[in-house]
Structure 1
């Protein structure tokens, strides 16, 4: 009995329970937000009376998300950097704890919007407060930093992908439930009240877990000395390579990440809007099932990392993930029925591999004391990229809605192909795998 209690306590001190609770809260929140915005779009006023009702509703929904996500891109930039600096100075929990307050107030604010029929513009203020708490940018960077410093360089990409797998499994379960949970209390309190209350409660549990239970575990081998040894070994393999080779690789990795994230998120953020219109015209339950099916790629991507890392380099693994996403999202351009949607998503089975693997490569280029700020800088760069691709994809979607709604998915596939170029250059500049193994053997 004592041994079992100790085992349970050990598990609770790990970061996985926190991620489980956080993902439950986030999934319930965004699932409710999508449906509340759709409900409000029905009664929205349309400035262009000659515009078809469905197109007007699509414009209302896409405009709301454009402003909402732009706020989420801008607001966290400075707070995330400050929290990262605090983390690198020893306050490793700070980038995780502070954003949890932002998550909680977002769920609470949307709950108040539903209960008291407040205007949807109130959520813009909630998004700003969430951003000022560091947002997902600070939270995810803090999590990735703890994972990076608590794992060896060889196993880092696998450990990061395992975390993505946990995220995906929780998201699948949450989305399967969310469509049904959203409809509870629809007659008296309003649709989504139970779901949002559960979401807020999850974030309260998250805060308690971080403050009371979470253990910060750092491996000694991930010190500045080890990172310097890796850097020197890399330069010695390519004797003619300039001393700034690692910096050039980091710039290329940043560029590839920004391109891939722009192409991926620009299309995926509009996907729920796309499926809520004709010819698919999904309801809350179908949307939950579709999102859950899309979340299966967390599992397939994890299996891909486990299998591929045995025979190919991390660069090749990244390229496989990018090809997987590009092919699936291009097929999505021509989806006209539900079964075609699921076929398109099945092609994305390895599309989550690139970002965790790139983070793993970046964490190996810097000393432990700069790991947090490096990963946060990556997230901040994605925020700046979002300032361009979010309005661009939204306006392109609105302009092409009448003649080719899937054009944004074709554009996304094209940008993803462009992201393969800097990754390929990094692969050409990097030492061969067998040479690295020889160095480690010495």
Structure 2
């Protein structure tokens, strides 16, 4: 054997296989994304803030400051309603086709095309700041991003590449490690975003340094994926043609009974499932879909409303505080990764999923009543395992399908989540505007309820798993 290089998710690989790691692409893309998200919010706020101040100055009866803030909040909310609709619906035209092409021809197609769209959208914000274009130009930037596959095509391609390069036993850890890298990239980008935004003293060019850094990171990600990244060879279990009892238990398998590299002797089942037992696997996949969608409703609603929430009273954050707040959100990538490492040794996947849902639901409920900045950070700290559910659901689904179908299946799941995001974003922004004066935390309370509701389909999966494990024990005897 030649010289070894340490694999990012444990173990060792030949040095040549370093080029198969998707982590550099994920990290640079997420740094670009976090800079872009903070920059877009602050640029939009500045644009609508100037308009609100001008309208109040020319008014015969000037409105109080609270009225100007509410007017600005509604304008920003309306912008994001249209923006999210555009960036969420346009991938429907191309994402599945890119996933199909990736499965049929080359695994990097969906990732590279999506990264091109991401780069063009970052350029759109740069040009808006540089030449003072109207804020509506960002709708066109979002449309270009979506037509190139958007996040749906990009992330499904990343998950497919990550799943190919990992065994079934290590897949949950492998995928959560990719999420960890994404979180670290987002944390670093968010921490510096507020400072970079203020680099230009002139009001018209404010944000130029930030957007230029975002474009640079997106450019690096695109060229790295084109010129350096290689598709890893599949190390998944080769015998996937006919499912066995072990495959069903492995869907939400425990790390105590499933060795990462070799099947446990107690789990080796020589008898394949009868045709009637194949159908319950489809039920498992459907329940996992339902759980992921309901939970995504809760998460997306909170994430979309949170930037508006922190800009308004009682918090009233400035640019630097907005960056720090976004960075705090990315800390869940680190804590969720550590949670999977710890929980996977003593809990089933379904248990880990439910722990993450309870974590997020509890934090969202506290966030609904946050009146001070410290309360916001306490609520964020309670959400420390919020990333576990969707990542673990993806890992569980990958164990039920052939690796040749990863691109299509993952992009279908991501499109469902994207549609959920579009509907939720519009609905939550409307609810936020309606409850702005009465109870500004109403959206967070709704998210908490939905997060706890998502536990129901996962609980059914856990119950079915227990039943099938009992059936497997009887069959062995």
With the length of structure 1 as denominator, give the TM-score of the two structures.
0.92
How many Å separate the matches in 1 of 2:392 and 2:241? 18
Moved over 3 A (4+): 2-13, 45-51, 220-223, 229-243, 431-439
Shift of 1:74: 0.4
SS of residue matched to 2:166: coil
Change (3 A) 1:431 1:286: same
Match of 2:102 in 1: 87
1:276: how far off?
0.6
* Equivalence map 1:7-406=2 (5 Å): 11-44=18-51, 52-187=67-202, 190-223=205-238, 225-226=239-240, 228-230=242-244, 234=248, 242-406=277-441
Corresponding residue pairs, total:
439
Would you say 1:412 and 2:447 are equivalent positions?
Answer: yes
Helix, strand or coil: the match of 1:19?
A: helix
Range with greater deviation from structure 2 (40-49 or 287-296): 40-49
The 1:174–1:367 alpha-carbon spacing in structure 2 relative to 1, beyond 3 Å, is: same
SS at match of 1:228: coil
Q: Contact (CA 8 Å) 1:186, 1:192: kept in 2 or not? A: no
Deviations 1:111-157 (A, max 9, x none): 11112211111100110110000001000000001111211111111
Aligned-partner SS, 1:280: coil
Report the TM-score, using the length of structure 2 for normalisation. 0.86
Deviations 1:13-55 (A, max 9, x none): 5211111111111111111111101111212357999781111
SS in 2 for 1:52: helix
227-236 or 412-421: bigger deviation? 227-236
Q: Secondary structure at the match of 1:204?
A: helix
Specify the SS of the correspondent of 1:181.
Answer: helix
8 A contact 2:166–2:235 mirrored in 1? no
2:353 and 2:388 in contact (8 A); partners too: yes
Tell me which moved more, 331-340 or 202-211.
202-211
Structure 2 gap segments, 5+ residues each? 6-12, 250-270
Counterpart CA distance in 1 for 2:398 and 2:20 is: 24
Q: 1:25/1:269 Cα in 2 relative to 1: closer, same or farther (>3 Å)?
A: same
TM superposition shift of 1:187: 2.1
2:22 and 2:229 in contact (8 A); partners too: yes
Cα distance change on mapping 1:280 and 1:429 into 2, 3 Å: same
Secondary structure at 1:290's aligned position in 2? Answer: helix
| Maintained 8 Å contact 1:228/1:367 | no
Q: Deviations over 1:77-102 (max 9, x none)?
A: 13110000011113100010001111
Larger radius of gyration: 2
Is the Cα contact below 8 Å between 2:311 and 2:318 reproduced in 1?
yes
- Please tell me whether the aligned partners of residues 153 and 364 of structure 1 are also in contact (alpha carbons under 8 angstroms): yes
**Alpha-carbon distance between aligned partners in 2 of 1:402 and 1:227, rounded to the nearest angstrom:** 58
Identify unmatched segments of 5+ residues in structure 1: none
Residue 419 of structure 1 and its aligned partner are, at CA, apart by: 0.9
Q: Distance in 1 between matches of 2:164 and 2:275?
A: 31
Is the contact made by 1:104 and 1:203 (CA closer than 8 Å) also made in structure 2? yes
Q: Which whole-Å CA distance do the structure 1 matches of 2:227 and 2:84 have between them?
A: 32
Instruction: Indicate conservation of the 8 Å contact 2:25/2:224, yes or no.
Output: yes
Aligned-partner Cα distance in 2 for 1:289–1:82? 38
CA distance in 2, matches of 1:220, 1:345: 37
Q: Are residues 18 and 233 of structure 1, via their aligned partners in 2, closer, same or farther at CA, if it must alter by over 3 Å?
A: closer
SS in 2 for 1:44: helix
Secondary structure at the aligned position of 1:425 is classed as helix
Distance 2:349 2:201 in 1: 49
